[in-house]
Amino acid sequence: MPRNSDGTLTAGKISPRRAVPHHIPRPEYVGKKGPTPSAHGDIYDAETIELIRESGRIASQAIDAVAEAIAPGVTTDELDAIGHDFIVKHDAYPSTLGYRGYSKSLCSSINEVICHGIPDDTTLRDGDIINIDITAFKNGVHGDTNRTFVVGNASQAAKDLVDRTEESLRRAIAVVAPGRPISVIGRVIESYAKRFGYGVVRDFTGHGVGYAFHSGLIIPHYDAGEKYATVMQPGMVFTIEPMLTLGSIAWDQWADGWTVTTRDKSLTAQFEHTLAVTETGAEILTLS
């Protein structure tokens, strides 16, 4: 249950790797240093989109199962066990387990942790906020989603940050449509976040997802203008996953090589969906 005396987070003890039954197919990167770049682009046919939806539903339902256990006193490792067991029970593989050396089945990012917090023996406290990010791999495709939860009674500022981060994702999804440049997504998120003076994290982005966990397509959450002129097309599949902060967007990474925090230790929240671009807009593939 490690914390600094001011309540900020510090690295805890990470439990041994959890096993995945042998009959469950692994993504190609498991047991290797990293993924082999996928030759497939970011456009999928209707059948494959249905498979991504199946993986996405398992990921979302796994978050639902984890959410039921979120309470003061629970460790993030206990949450990892719940997410892991749910995913493998549905014959899927937890995509983060063995991805570039990551050794857990979900990311648990508390308070000032922007993303990629590793489940450990840290116990949740009343008033924390915690993001649970789960990706499931089944039928050869990944579905990636995350949500932020409030633990017990949080400050109004924390609750507002969580609600408005979710709203920024909703607004971003609403402007996804074929023929529009990717840059409209970040423009909408940034202009909404600015109303409240929130920081919009720039160095971690949304991404193409499907056969690959991260395809190489980048989805910025800030207004990146001409640099991201790629035009959205029907069948394109990617995530949008804005991270908003109550302070600065400068960040630090822990010695574990993963955990990313705000440098000023300000609170930060995130929400993520995997989407498919349709003929008229977007469809969310990570619903329960």
State the residues that interact with ligand MF3 by CB under 6 A: 96, 99-100, 102, 107, 116, 133, 135, 144, 207, 241, 258, 272
Torsion angle (degrees, nearest 10) of CA 171, 261, 4, 158 = -10
**Contact between 144 and Co ion (CB under 5 A)?**
yes
* Minimum CB–partner distance for residue 108 and Co ion (Å): 12
Task: Indicate the residue among 262 and 270 with the shorter CB distance to ligand MF3.
Answer: 270
Only segment of 61-69, 148-156, 257-265, 270-278 that touches Co ion (CB under 5 A):
270-278
Only segment of 26-34, 184-192, 264-272, 276-284 that touches Co ion (CB under 5 A):
264-272
* Minimum CB–partner distance for residue 47 and ligand MF3 (Å): 24
Only segment of 22-30, 129-137, 223-231, 254-262 that touches Co ion (CB under 5 A):
129-137
Structural tokens at position 192: 């909404």
Q: Which does 96 bind (CB under 5 to 8 A by kind): Co ion, ligand MF3, none?
A: ligand MF3
227: exposed, middle or buried (Cβ count in 10 Å: 0-12, 13-18, 19+): exposed
How far, in Å, CA of 3 to CA of 80, rounded? Answer: 19
Residue of 9, 63, 20, 19 lying closest to 274 (CA atoms): 63
How far, in Å, CA of 223 to CA of 185, rounded? Answer: 8
CA distances from 249 to 117, 183, 203, 252, 268 (A): 17, 20, 9, 10, 9
How far, in Å, CA of 124 to CA of 130, rounded? Answer: 8
* Minimum CB–partner distance for residue 142 and ligand MF3 (Å): 9
* Minimum CB–partner distance for residue 209 and ligand MF3 (Å): 8
Task: Indicate the residue among 8 and 288 with the shorter CB distance to Co ion.
Answer: 288
Task: Indicate the residue among 54 and 241 with the shorter CB distance to ligand MF3.
Answer: 241
* Minimum CB–partner distance for residue 117 and ligand MF3 (Å): 9
Residue of 254, 253, 248, 252 lying closest to 267 (CA atoms): 248
Identity of the residue numbered 47: E
* Torsional class of 226: left (φ above 0), alpha (ψ -120 to 50), beta (otherwise): alpha
How far, in Å, CA of 55 to CA of 53, rounded? Answer: 5
Task: Indicate the residue among 228 and 258 with the shorter CB distance to ligand MF3.
Answer: 258
Q: Which does 149 bind (CB under 5 to 8 A by kind): ligand MF3, Co ion, none?
A: none
Q: Which of 239, 245, 259, 268 binds Co ion (CB under 5 A)?
A: 239
Note the residues at the interface with Co ion (CB under 5 A): 133, 144, 146, 239, 272
